A = this chain, B = another copy of it.
Amino acid sequence: MSILVVGSVAYDTVETPFGRAEKVLGGSASFFSVAAAFFAPVSLVAVVGDDFGAAAMAAFEGRPIDLEGLERTAGKTFHWQGKYSYDLNSRETVCTDLNVFEFFEPRIPDRYRRSEYVFLGNIDPVLQRQVLDQVERPRLVACDTMNFWISGKPEEVRRTLAAVDVLLINDAEARQLSGEWNIVKAARAIRALGPHTLVIKKGEHGVLMFSEEGSFAAPAYPLEEVFDPTGAGDTFAGGFLGYLAGSPKVDEAALRRAVVMGSTLASFCVEAFSLDRLLTLSRPEIDARYRLFKRLTHFEEV
């Protein structure tokens, strides 16, 4: 079943201890789409400027990614520049040029309106609801947000969450959104706002999911070479929702496999700049690493 994703398609300039990548493809919807498209067809809604070139565009081609909703408008594409610390555990935003993204108003093409799965990338919560107003009864709506919206538009975030099934955020955002330090209490408070399932991303420490059936913990894959963490969270979301959209049903077992599939995709994402590793990835490689996650976490009853 198909997935509608609304978010950013951007150029990133990224500096890590291992090198620098200049104006390479980035943006939440880019990482999400390529990851999700391994499992299900994706309908992309985003905006780029007239500087968005064929090289970047090529990332989406030859994949089940519908580009009718990728609006092209006069001006420059959203550009983000960031620099990572020596340990990759913190990053500094050098500059954010919103450019054409500043005036983004998601317009959902007619043939996207019946998408069964919807992913609301990290954009203004008001726009996230405008997307929901344009779709017809999706089976599942997942959503991301960030500290900027949680502190800047808390009421709008809450109104959006009331219409969302699955929220994917990081641990700092979960604490900020709930006002609770303890992560179990934070999860309970957030699930009371609407989402039946909360996925908390903890970077190198893995993922915690809180759902109707309790909690699930998955580690991050212990990688020897982490090259560039940019896009790992969006890639996780793409693997997670893509896997669900490709599953016969969304139950606890599928949600858990989706978390591990998201972690699997994210573990590849960080191995290279931009979407480089995702673009060379094959389904057998994905399945092989999924099995490594199984081996990484398996233990027997006593």
Could you tell me which A residues sit within 8 Å of B by CB distance? 86-87, 181-185, 202, 204-206, 208, 214-219, 222-226, 243, 253, 256-257, 259-261, 287, 290-291, 294-302
Contacts and interface: CB of A to CB of B under 8 A. Distances in A.
B302 A290 contact: yes
B216 A206 contact: no
13 contacts: A86-B181, A182-B223, A184-B223, A184-B224, A217-B296, A218-B219, A243-B302, A253-B299, A257-B299, A260-B299, A294-B299, A294-B301, A297-B299
A150 B291 CA distance: 37
B219 A259 contact: no
B294 A259 contact: no
Given A206-B205, A302-B261, A302-B290, A297 B182 contact: no
Contacts of A260: 299
Given A256-B300, A294-B301, A302-B261, A208 B184 contact: no
Nearest to A204: B183
Contacts of A86: 181
A295 B256 CA distance: 11
A218 B299 contact: yes
A258 to B, nearest CB: 9
A87 B299 contact: no
Contacts of A208: 219, 222
A296 B181 contact: no
A283 to B, nearest CB: 10
B218 A222 contact: no
Given A217-B206, A219-B219, A297-B216, A181 B87 contact: yes
B222 A219 contact: no
A298 B256 contact: yes
Contact of A301 (B182, B291, B299, B302): B291
Given A214-B295, A216-B296, 20 more contacts: A182-B223, A182-B224, A182-B226, A183-B222, A184-B222, A185-B224, A206-B219, A217-B222, A217-B296, A218-B297, A253-B299, A253-B300, A256-B299, A257-B302, A259-B299, A290-B301, A290-B302, A294-B299, A297-B297, A297-B299
A239 to B, nearest CB: 11
